[in-house]
Structure 1
Amino acid sequence: MPKSFHFDIEFKYPIDDVHRTLTDPNYWKGRLGDLYATSDIEVRDGSIEVSVSEEIDSASLPSLVAKVAPSRLGLKRVDRWGPLSDGRAAGSVTGIARGLPIRIETTLDLTAAESCTRLVVDGTAEVKMPIIGGQIEKLLKKTVEDLLGRDRDAVESFLA
């Protein structure tokens, strides 16, 4: 059964600046650089879709995952951001693994707050593996929190 999660992240910049950055292909090109074997950026009417894929050595994963993963694990992440409308933008991040039955889905709600911008994250992590799937799902929640925290740091660095 998938594990649900919810958390908030705050950006210290106004929503217009944060959204403009998240939908700027130049931000993504600079951020992605040569890190990923495959990346694709599609821009349409104030919205963006960014897909990245890579293969990683399973030895770099937490031991619980490394024990059951193939030696090379394929990962794909897709970020989507819609246009800014009435002080809010909707987005999503999806992650899947090739080589393990793992899927992460999040919905993102970017809103203006009193002195910052708030990102509300609702998601699920699903690992279709008996016995250890639930343990891996808990690890994935923490991984998503860390990942989106690094995303915030990258946006703030870009805006500084």
Structure 2
Amino acid sequence: MPKKFSFTSALDHDVERVHATLTNEEFWKNRIAASPTGDAELEVRVSGPGTISLTMADSMGTSGLPSVVRGVLPGPLVIERADEWGPLDGGIAHGVLTGGARGLPITVSARSELRAGDTGGTVVEVHGEATVKVPLVGGKIEGLIVQLVESMVRNDSREIDTWLADS
């Protein structure tokens, strides 16, 4: 059964600057270049002003994973992710996040909303679900996947804050 998730990430910068960063090809190239594995992959498509579609894949060390995950993993864990962001319209932009892992029947599907925060800054709300189709242990792995997705979104927020602070 899919595990639903919902979380919010806050950034200290205004929504226009955050959206411009999220839809900036150079931001994503810089982000993937900083991968500690050195073998990350990135494909970016900018389809118009303020829109972007990107796919990325990166391997992750398995030593820190629970034994239940290592037991069903046929090799290195390669996380795949696809993001799409639409234009900023009326101070709001919508995004789609999908993902999975090579070698495991994992799917992640989420919708995102980027908007101005009530007290300034920017808020990203993410709502979705993770599904792992592995008999007996899928539910345990789904919880881990949700944690990884939340960590990934929070890392994106930190990287955006750093990018904007440096520019």
Q: Give the TM bin, normalised by the shorter chain.
A: over 0.9
Identity %: 38
Aligned to 1:136: 141
Q: Comparing 118-127 with 71-80, which one deviates more in the overlay?
A: 71-80
Aligned residue pair count: 160
Question: Aligned equivalents of 1:136 and 1:32: distance in 2?
Answer: 25
Unmatched segments (≥5 aa) in structure 2? none
Q: What SS does the aligned partner of 2:72 have?
A: coil
Q: What SS does the aligned partner of 1:70 have?
A: coil
Whether 2:21 is the aligned partner of 1:12: answer no
| RMSD of aligned alpha carbons | 1.5
Unmatched segments (≥5 aa) in structure 1? none
Q: 1:120 to 1:37 in 2, by over 3 A?
A: closer
Q: Which of 146, 151, 154 is the matching residue for 2:156?
A: 151
Using the size of structure 2 for normalisation, the TM-score is 0.89
Aligned to 1:87: 91
TM superposition outliers: structure 1 runs of 4+ over 4 Å: none
Using the size of structure 1 for normalisation, the TM-score is 0.93
Question: Aligned equivalents of 2:16 and 2:66: distance in 1?
Answer: 37
8 Å CA contact 2:79–2:100 kept in 1: the answer is yes
Alignment of 1:32-51 (within 5 A): 32-33=32-33, 35=35, 36-45=39-48, 46-51=50-55
Q: Which of 114, 117, 122 is the matching residue for 1:113?
A: 117
Q: Comparing 56-65 with 112-121, which one deviates more in the overlay?
A: 56-65
